[in-house]
């Protein structure tokens, strides 16, 4: 279970101005699961409240990666 409090702790301590999150899928499937989408939305919302926008959420596997921005699940223009 991923909690926004833990994800943003280092970002707050380091006075970060933005955040990119990533995790791996050992199965080799790059597709963002429902759980990936849910936690990415929670992290994005937390970042908006904290003033530390989440610029992208990435899923890596041995066959490649999935970017929420490239996949249209996160709008980067919102942070310009």
**Average per-residue pLDDT for the chain:** 91
Query: What pLDDT, on a 0 to 100 scale, did the predictor assign at position 80?
Result: 54
Strands, sheet with 19-24, edge to edge from the N-terminal-most edge strand: 19-24, 54-61, 64-67
pTM of the model: 0.87
Of 50, 49, 53, 57, which Cα lies nearest the Cα of 73?
A: 57
User: Which domains, and CATH codes, for the chain?
Assistant: 4-73 (3.40.140.10)
Q: Could you list the pLDDT tens digit for every one of the 80 residues in the chain?
A: 789 999 999 999 999 999 999 999 998 898 899 999 999 999 999 999 999 999 999 999 999 999 999 999 988 766 65
């Amino acid at each position: 279970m991923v909690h926004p409090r833990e994800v943003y702790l280092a970002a707050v301590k380091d006075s970060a101005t933005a955040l990119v999150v990533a995790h791996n899928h050992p199965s080799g499937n790059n597709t963002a699961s429902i759980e990936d989408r849910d936690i990415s939305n929670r992290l994005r919302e937390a970042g908006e409240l904290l003033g530390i926008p989440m610029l992208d959420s990435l899923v890596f596997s041995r066959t490649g990666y999935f970017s929420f921005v490239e996949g249209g699940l996160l709008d980067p223009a919102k942070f310009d």
